[in-house]
Amino acid sequence: MKAFIDEKRFGEKVIFRNAVFDIPRNCRTAILGPSGCGKTTLMRMLSGLDHDYAGHIDGLPELPVVLFQEDRLSERISVMSNMMAVSPDRRKAERILADLSLGGEGRSPVHELSGGMKRRVAIARILMLDYDWLFLDEPFRGLDDDSKRRAAALIGESAEGKPLVLITHDRDDLPLLGVSSVIELG
């Protein structure tokens, strides 16, 4: 995928001007940089969520899945209902939840979970889906080391042979997901 961004701005603030980003399909890429440098904005353009820019992107994903920076869970319903919302495969959902140490939480309303548990549910939910590109925006935010490793292993397994784009400000996340290509912003 190659993005030719002539200009991307929010009001008066220019985020990118005359920028070219090359994201290889055959390896995992990280977009690194400090907060506010435009990582999420670039991810939204690359995943096809944001079309409001001057320029064009060759090879836009047809079936992208995005793990957003926010958990974006339906808080009033149970963990399992959030999983069922994206796929009816209950067995798969149970297996993924168990793998992320959420086996006993299927019936728990999301609003009763801790921040780290919600993050794991958000990760579990994307693992239910089929995709051709996977975009992860700060995927391990709020997770302890053990949960981080476990989640990274599951994501790595799910994204086997598929392009993956990781947005992070933490270089320690790169080896966890086997990232071999890096774009530095800011």
Partner 1 sequence: MTSTIQASKAARAGAIAFWLIVWEIASLLIGEELFLPSPLAVAARLIVCIGDGVFWTSILFTLSRILIGFILSLLASAAAAVLSYRFRLFSILADPLVRIIRATPVASIVILVLVWVRSRNLSVVISFLMVFPIIYTNILEGLRNTDRDLLEAAAVYRMTAMRKARYIYFPSLMPFIESAVSISLGLAWKSGIAAEVIGLPSGSIGERVYEAKIYLSTPDLFAWTVVIIVLAFIFEHVFLRFVKLIAGRAAS
Q: Which residues are at the interface with partner 1 (CB under 8 A)?
A: 47, 49, 64-66, 68, 70, 72-78, 80-82, 84-86, 107, 109, 125-126, 129
Q: Which is nearer to partner 1, 53 or 135 (CB)?
A: 135
Q: Which is nearer to partner 1, 87 or 181 (CB)?
A: 87
Residue 136 near residue 155, CB atoms below 8 Å: yes
- Closest approach, Cβ 146 to partner 1, in A, equals 27
Q: Scan for tokens 């598929």, then name that residue.
A: 162
- Closest approach, Cβ 58 to partner 1, in A, equals 21
- What is the rounded distance in angstroms from the CA atom of residue 17 to the CA atom of residue 184? 15
User: Strand 54-58 to strand 2-10: parallel, antiparallel, or no bridges (unpaired)?
Assistant: antiparallel
Q: Distances from the Cα of 43 to the Cαs of 31, 64, 65, 99, 172, in angstroms?
A: 8, 11, 11, 28, 20
Question: Residue 124: CA atoms inside 13 Å, Cβ hemisphere, count?
Answer: 32
The token duo for 147 is 């949960």
Q: Which is nearer to partner 1, 55 or 109 (CB)?
A: 109
- What is the rounded distance in angstroms from the CA atom of residue 176 to the CA atom of residue 159? 13
Q: Which is nearer to partner 1, 68 or 174 (CB)?
A: 68
DSSP letter assigned to residue 28: E
- Closest approach, Cβ 138 to partner 1, in A, equals 15
Q: Please provide the size of the chain in residues.
A: 186
Q: Which is nearer to partner 1, 78 or 101 (CB)?
A: 78
- Closest approach, Cβ 20 to partner 1, in A, equals 25
| CB proximity list for 167: less than 8 A, separation 6 or greater | 30, 31, 39, 40, 42, 43, 69, 135, 136, 137, 138
Q: Which is nearer to partner 1, 32 or 53 (CB)?
A: 53
- Closest approach, Cβ 76 to partner 1, in A, equals 4
- Closest approach, Cβ 74 to partner 1, in A, equals 5
